[in-house]
Each structure stands twice: as structure tokens, then as C-alpha cells.
Structure 1
Amino acid sequence: MATDTRKRMIEATALLLRRRGYHGTSLNDILSASAAPRGSLYFHFPGGKDQLVVEVTRASVADVTERLGAQLASESDPAVAVHHIYQSVARMLEDNEFSLGCPIAPVVLDAPNEVPDLEEICRSAFEQWIGLLRDAFIRAGIPERRAQALALLVESSLEGLMVIARATRDRTPLLAVANEVGALIEQAVLAGKVARRAETAV
């Protein structure tokens, strides 16, 4: 029973954070959404709300990181892999009826610097996600500097497009940009191959 209560609190907090951010999620909201007894929060999380939020955010980041890494590793062509990522995000938004986007965006916009551990998790999350994209592009032969820029482009467009899709309740913008970004990555891979052939010929 105690394990079930803890799990309900974690799941409820994850949803509340994605909808309302850190400051918009109160202890009463967590207890109400999880149907948990009032004294259970500090029993399971002695550090209170901050400990719970940090644990939930860390788990959410790990989940996204694992799925992103798997998607990038499943395709040798990074343009195809990235296209699949945009499609996956579009499906996720449709499945939750455009009510939930990036798990850390609301927290970032809600001043996580008040909780140092939370701030570090959010900073590290973007570094990890951008790094996974960059490394996939480098493996495909794109020069490191351009690979970093393309990774930033992909991550920033996904973050912005999730907001647009939620506002318009429409996945079309995600799919349209997926095609454009895919074409950019294809061109970058081709340019890298041409440059390497030129270097070899010299």
C-alpha cells in the first residue's frame, strides 16, 4: 500500500508539473490528485515538495533521454531518425489531446534556480538531448561545428513546435518542419561526404 501511494504521488506530480510548472503545483494539488493521505508526503519524501519534484523531473529526463537515444540509434540515416522523432512528438501530443508537452519546459519557465538540484537537472537535460543529436550527426559525417548547430536547431524547433501545436491543437506544424529539417540534415550529410572525397583526392 505504501508503495502504491508513493507511485501515485510521483505520477500525479509528473502530470501536474507538465501542466502547471513548479510554482503552479502545490502540495494540496499533489495530495488531491494522488488521493494520498496528508501525512504521506513527508513519509515518502522527507525533503518535501522539492525532493518529490527533483525525483520526478530526474525520472522524466531519463525517460526522454533513453527514448531519444534509442530513436537515433535505430537509424543509420540521421535525417530519417529525426523525422521519426518529430512524428513521435506529434503522436504524443495527439494521444494526450494537446494537454502535455516537454516534461521540463514548464519547470524551466517557472524559475528552477530557486531549487539548485532542479536547475541542474534541467540544464543537464538539454545538454544531453542536444549532445545525442550532435553525436548522431557527427557519426553520419557532418562536421562537428555544423552538427552542433543542427542539433540546437532540432531541439529548439521541437520545443517551440510543442507550444504551437498545443495552442492550435494541430500536429501539422510539427510534420511540416520535420520535412524541412530532414532536408537540411540530408544536405549536411551530403556536403560532408563531398568534403571528405575532396580531401582524399588531394
Structure 2
Amino acid sequence: MPKKSNTAERIVRATAALLASRGYAGTGLNDIIARAKAPKGSLYHYFPAGKPQIASAAIHFVGREVGDFLDQAGGQAPHGRNVLRRFTATLRGWLEDSQFAEACPVFSTTLSIDAELAPVHAECRQVLQAWHASIERALLADGLEAAPAAARAWLVLAALEGAVAIARAEQSLRALSAIETELQALLPA
């Protein structure tokens, strides 16, 4: 693939935002071009495999960005609680900044069903596994044993992503805040 430019980055960011609000099926190439303010030819210049490649790049971008936040938060005790706070703040920010129009693009895309999505779903799987690993590492650092740390990491991830779906439906942060509070009680202090 050719070297990325500012245009490629704009395309990736625009795609991430569109996936967050519309999912994969609702994100069209013309929408990406318009949001990125990019010429149509640039899509196929930087992403010759088309929409699945663009979506995979967007998921990878979001995954890396959030993963970095989670790893930073997990570097200080209480590790698990800090990761939970950071992840919840990230999700809350997406919801508030978009007035509940956008959620987690990884979760939104994972729910999409389309024959061409195999490589995109593979990227979603890798991102979710990486986020799980960040949460699990934090819980291990707090002294949890391996099996409970792995299970609680999945619980944190699933509960927060589910709370985001409810928050979008209700146009309220009530569920996300309640889930964060309940999860805090399950994590080492």
C-alpha cells in the first residue's frame, strides 16, 4: 500500500466516525469522501481494496488509540479501576460529543452483517482482544488471579459496550454511569 498522507488519515478518521454512527452497511463511499473532504480517486489510491480495507484501517486506528489510553490508565494503581474510568470516559466522550449519534465504531461494525466483512470482522476481533488484554493486565496488576482477571475483563468490556447501546437508544448517560458504578464495585480497590 502507498505511504499514507494527511488525506489517507482524514479518510480513516471520517470512516471511523461514520462507522460509529451508521455501522458498516450505512457507511457509503460517497459519505466517506464528503466527510473527509477528499477526492474520490484518493480512496482507491490509498485503499485499493475498497470499503473493507478502509473500514479495517478505521477500526485499527480506533483500536490503537483506545488501546493506548487503556494501557496508560492501567499503569497506575488501582490499575483496573483506572482503566475502567478511562474507558468509560472515552465512551462517554463519544456519546456526548456527537449528541448520542456516535458510539464505539468497533462495536457498531462488529454488529454489521455483510459478505465482504470477513477482513473487517477480523480487525474488530483483534481490537476487542487487545482491549480485553489491556483490561486483564490491569486486573492482574491489582492482584487478581488469571482466570478471574480474564473473566472480569470480558465483563467490563461487554457491560460498557452494552451500556453504550442503551445510552444511544435512551439519549442519556444514565445506563453508562450505572454500569460504571456497578463495575467499580467488582474491581480491586
Question: How high is the TM-score relative to the length of structure 1?
Answer: 0.81
Alignment correspondent of 1:193: none
Q: 1:154 aligns with which of 156, 163, 187?
A: 156
Question: Does structure 2 conserve the Cα–Cα contact (< 8 Å) formed by 1:12 and 1:34?
Answer: yes
CA RMSD of aligned residues (A): 2.2
Shift in Å, 1:76? 3.3
Could you say if the C-alpha distance between residues 78 and 40 of structure 1 is closer, same or farther in structure 2, counting changes exceeding 3 Å? closer
Q: Which one-letter code corresponds to 1:15 in the other structure?
A: A
Q: Which residue of 1 aligns with 2:46?
A: 44
Cα shift at 1:3: 4.0
Amino acid in the other structure paired with 1:126: L
Residue segments in structure 2 that go unaligned for 5+ positions in a row? none
Give a deviation string over 1:3-46, Cα, whole Å, max 9, x none.
44333322222211111222221222222333333333222322
Q: Partner amino acid for 1:107?
A: T
Q: Tell me the equivalent position of 1:176.
A: 178
Equivalent residue letter for 1:106: S
Alpha-carbon distance change, 5 to 129 in structure 1, aligned in 2, over 3 angstroms: closer
Identity of aligned residues (%): 32
Corresponding position: 1:145 with 2:147: yes
CA distance in 2 between counterparts of 1:88 and 1:31 reads 26
Deviation, 1:151, is 0.8
Q: Distance in 1 between matches of 2:6 and 2:86?
A: 35
Query: For residues 63-102 of structure 1, what are the structure 2 equivalents within 5 Å?
Result: 63-102=65-104
Amino acid across the alignment from 2:142:
A
Q: Which moved further from structure 2: 26-35 or 144-153?
A: 26-35
Counterpart Cα distance in 2 of 1:80 and 1:18: 24
**Does the C-alpha gap of structure 1 residues 60 and 88 become closer, same or farther in structure 2, counting only changes over 3 Å?**
closer
Contact 1:80/1:182 (<8 A) preserved:
no
Matched residue SS, 1:183 = helix
Conserved? CA contact 2:18–2:27, under 8 Å: yes
Tell which deviates more after alignment, 133-142 or 29-38: 29-38
